[in-house]
Structure 1
Amino acid sequence: MTIRVVLADDHVLMRQGVSQMLNATQDITVVGECDDGVELIAAVLKLSPDVILMDISMPRMSGLVAIDKILSQRSDAKILVLSMHNEVEYIEAMRDAGAKGYILKESSGDSLVDAIKKVAANKTSFPDELTQPASEQCQKHISPLSVLTRREREVFFLVAAGNTSKKIAELLDMSLKTAENHRSNIYKKLNLSSSAELIRMAGKAGLLE
């Protein structure tokens, strides 16, 4: 059975290289390529791929927001994140958002193929550090995102990217009041008073895309 993949990455050379490699692999074919999160959502709904291979940092819509929108319409979607970010906070955020796997762009082609096959088989594929017992993880990493809900994490990333509440409401398809309430709740939970403080926290935690 051939695994049908939709690939999203705004770096054309990277996307074309991955696509060519996967198309040359037995049992995998790329059925769609996208430049950004908006195109990705449309492609997923149209093509119903077996695996969605996507970057985090994309124009028009971040990967985290794209994941939420995809899963809200296709709850069984199997998402594998392909990223240059190796910070545990990023990996945990994508996993908590609903991704089935996470692989670094520096990984080998064989590792990527293996991850795609695992995700297609409804298994998870994350870096080794996330397979450690929770107690060991907590000793090494304390993520500011751990106290936030899934929706609040989406708003957190959009605030960190410099978006206004009005823009966040538009991107997440919510009212301005709801966006402002989420923003206020985030500030309270993280003991912050402004977006500038949130951006500084995100930077120190390695969460800025």
Structure 2
Amino acid sequence: MLLASEQELLREGLAALCERSGRHEVVGQCGDGSAAVQVASARQPDVCLLDLGLRSLHAFELISRLRRAAPNTRTVIVAERADARCARGILHAGASGVLLTSGPLQSLFDAISLAAEGGIYLPPGLPAEGVLAEADAGDPLSALSEREYQVFRLLVEGVRPKEIANRLDLSPKTVDSHRKNLMRKLDIHDLPTLVRFAVSRTGAR
């Protein structure tokens, strides 16, 4: 198993729990996305636990790169929070599950085992029927494309457009185009209002 997170405490904690269980061998730990791709390519782990908060590359882009580098590796995203829209995007990007850091210890082992077997793991608060269903037409965010939603999340987290371009491997012009499109679709005309809109939604921050 491969662990990828900028938070050393999180990486070491997960590694210790997995090693102590005797069921999951940790073959590598990485603090950034590029290193994770390199290690995955070299070691071809069964499962990669990937921190949603990695800043070097956006998680969705990193999932895609991991799939190319290690086609048989299953990726599980580790996050502090995730609503149905976010989880849907994670699964559509090619991940095999979402693991919440607030969940019980057993959820860690369940997520790893299920992903390794080719299944999809979702925490109890995110029922599969809600996540895998088509987006609710009444939800303003359902109008956004996956890439627009990625830009939306990074903008409301305070990430600058130039850094968004780096994380998503896009040109600044393309990021600006996505920003304009998503704000038009949401009928929002400035960043402070966009942030307030995000804060009002569970898990959007």
Q: Which residue of 153, 159, 162 maps to 2:149?
A: 153
Is 1:17 the counterpart of 2:2? The answer is no
> In structure 1, the residue corresponding to 2:27 is in which secondary structure?
strand
> In structure 1, the residue corresponding to 2:115 is in which secondary structure?
helix
TM-score scaled by structure 2?
0.81
Contact 1:65 1:154 in 2 (8 A): no
Q: Give the Cα–Cα distance (whole angstroms) in 1 for the partners of residues 2 and 108 of structure 2.
A: 14
> In structure 2, the residue corresponding to 1:187 is in which secondary structure?
helix
Matches within 5 A, 1:192-207: 192-205=188-201, 206-207=203-204
> In structure 2, the residue corresponding to 1:95 is in which secondary structure?
helix
Q: Give the Cα–Cα distance (whole angstroms) in 1 for the partners of residues 160 and 130 of structure 2.
A: 38
Is 1:130 the counterpart of 2:127? The answer is yes
Residue number in structure 2 paired with 1:177: 173
> In structure 2, the residue corresponding to 1:103 is in which secondary structure?
strand
Contact 2:46 2:72 in 1 (8 A): no
Contiguous gaps of at least 5 residues in structure 1: none
Report the AA paired with residue 80 of structure 2.
M
> In structure 1, the residue corresponding to 2:66 is in which secondary structure?
helix
CA RMSD of aligned residues (A): 2.9
Residue number in structure 1 paired with 2:109: 113
Residue number in structure 1 paired with 2:183: 187
Contact 1:130 1:137 in 2 (8 A): no
Q: Give the Cα–Cα distance (whole angstroms) in 1 for the partners of residues 58 and 161 of structure 2.
A: 16
Q: CA deviation at 1:35?
A: 1.9
Residue number in structure 2 paired with 1:162: 158
Residue number in structure 2 paired with 1:40: 36
> In structure 2, the residue corresponding to 1:10 is in which secondary structure?
coil
For residues 115-163 of structure 1, the C-alpha deviation after alignment (integer angstroms, 9 at most, x for no partner) is 11110111111123322468x9988xx6543222222222222222223
Q: CA deviation at 1:28?
A: 1.6
Contact 2:55 2:167 in 1 (8 A): no
Q: Give the Cα–Cα distance (whole angstroms) in 2 for the partners of residues 138 and 180 of structure 1.
A: 25
Identity %: 28
For residues 17-67 of structure 1, the C-alpha deviation after alignment (integer angstroms, 9 at most, x for no partner) is 210121233442111112233332332233222111122113333434422
How many residues get paired? 203
TM-score scaled by structure 1?
0.80
> In structure 2, the residue corresponding to 1:7 is in which secondary structure?
strand
Structure 1 ranges of 4+ moved more than 6 A: 136-139
Q: CA deviation at 1:202?
A: 1.7
Matches within 5 A, 1:44-55: 44-55=40-51
Contact 2:47 2:76 in 1 (8 A): yes
